[in-house]
Amino acid sequence: MTTAEDRGIRQGFWGNFLCTLVRRLEEWLLPIRMRLGRKIMYDEQRKIVQVSSRQLIKGPCSRQELEAMQYAASSTSVPLPRIHRTYQLRQGLFIAMDYIRGQSLEDLWARLTDEEKRKAVAQVWDSVRQLHACRPPSGLGGMAAASVGGGPVRDGALGVEDNVPTGLGPFVESADFVSVLDERTDFAELPRLPDQVAFVHADICPRNIIRAADGTLYLIDWEFAGWWPLYWERIKWHFADFPPMPDFIRLMDEFSAEESGQTVK
């Protein structure tokens, strides 16, 4: 073995050792950082804490949310928080991600002109279009509704929040998913087209859209994202309309209709 090879092995060993040490230290400090950070949400079900000027920690999270964020980051250019690392704690999975400094579209909406509202929704729709261009990989064997990894799905609109241990499905047949929807009378009046399965955020609403200082609109809260029928996106932006923001819904419906060639109802 040459001196250079020996030096490389030793540098690799110490590099791995230091990385492991830093990760262990971060895990040990996590409860302290969570207690001292700015609590955006902090209850038994969910904790979202800003721990630095650029990072927040959210949990417990489902694998569905983690998979969706990783997939969106690797397969699209949609603006979303970058994942720094994950923590597997007794309470569940916690995700350290970018803190997006800015204002939610919900807070900004009333101050925007009609033209600014349309431009904002056009930017949102550019992101939605990218997501919807993604299709489930052939290795999943065809899915009607599933997480990115092909597992069960959680969605509050279906009565299964993302913090419960088990989800619904995965649904291989479209009829099985439709039968679940048929149990909900509040979905009866909404169209179920287009029905192609694609990558769907499933919680597009103004409170989940953050405008950064440079005007970029970031999509946050990916806990319900996964492989869904495309019509589920529209059902969900109607379902998530609280407090009611009819201008946002109308514009989203218009862009959706233009994309699919359908008439807005």
Per the model's pLDDT, the better-predicted residue between 184 and 263 turns out to be 184
Query: Are 136 and 255 contained in the same domain?
Result: yes
The CA distance from 180 to 55, in Å, is 38
Q: DSSP 3-state assignment of 241? A: coil
pLDDT of residue 163: 67
Which CATH number does the domain housing residue 86 bear?
Answer: 3.30.200
| Position 217 in a domain | yes
Q: DSSP 3-state assignment of 150? A: coil
Output the DSSP codes for 15-29: HHHHHHHHHHHHHHH
Q: DSSP 3-state assignment of 30? A: helix
pTM of the model: 0.88
Averaged pLDDT, 207-223: 97
Tell me the percentage of the chain whose pLDDT exceeds 70: 90
Query: Are 26 and 135 contained in the same domain?
Result: no
pLDDT tens-place string over residues 5-47: 565 555 666 667 677 777 777 787 888 999 999 999 999 889 9
| Position 265 in a domain | no
Query: Are 23 and 53 contained in the same domain?
Result: yes
pLDDT of residue 240: 86
pLDDT of residue 184: 80
Q: DSSP 3-state assignment of 181? A: helix
Domain count of the fold of the chain: 2
Query: Are 249 and 162 contained in the same domain?
Result: yes
Within 13 Å of residue 35, how many CA atoms lie on the same side as its CB? 5
Query: Are 216 and 148 contained in the same domain?
Result: yes
pLDDT of residue 260: 67
| Position 184 in a domain | yes
Per the model's pLDDT, the better-predicted residue between 160 and 56 turns out to be 56
Query: Are 129 and 238 contained in the same domain?
Result: yes
Query: Are 125 and 164 contained in the same domain?
Result: yes
Query: Are 86 and 65 contained in the same domain?
Result: yes
pLDDT tens-place string over residues 84-123: 999 998 889 999 999 999 999 999 999 999 999 999 999 9
| Position 58 in a domain | yes
pLDDT of residue 9: 57
Q: Which domain holds residue 144?
A: 102-260
Query: Are 107 and 94 contained in the same domain?
Result: no
> Which distant-in-sequence residues (6+ apart) come within 8 Å of 101 by Cβ?
53, 212, 213
Query: Are 91 and 127 contained in the same domain?
Result: no
Tokens for 144? Answer: 């009607």
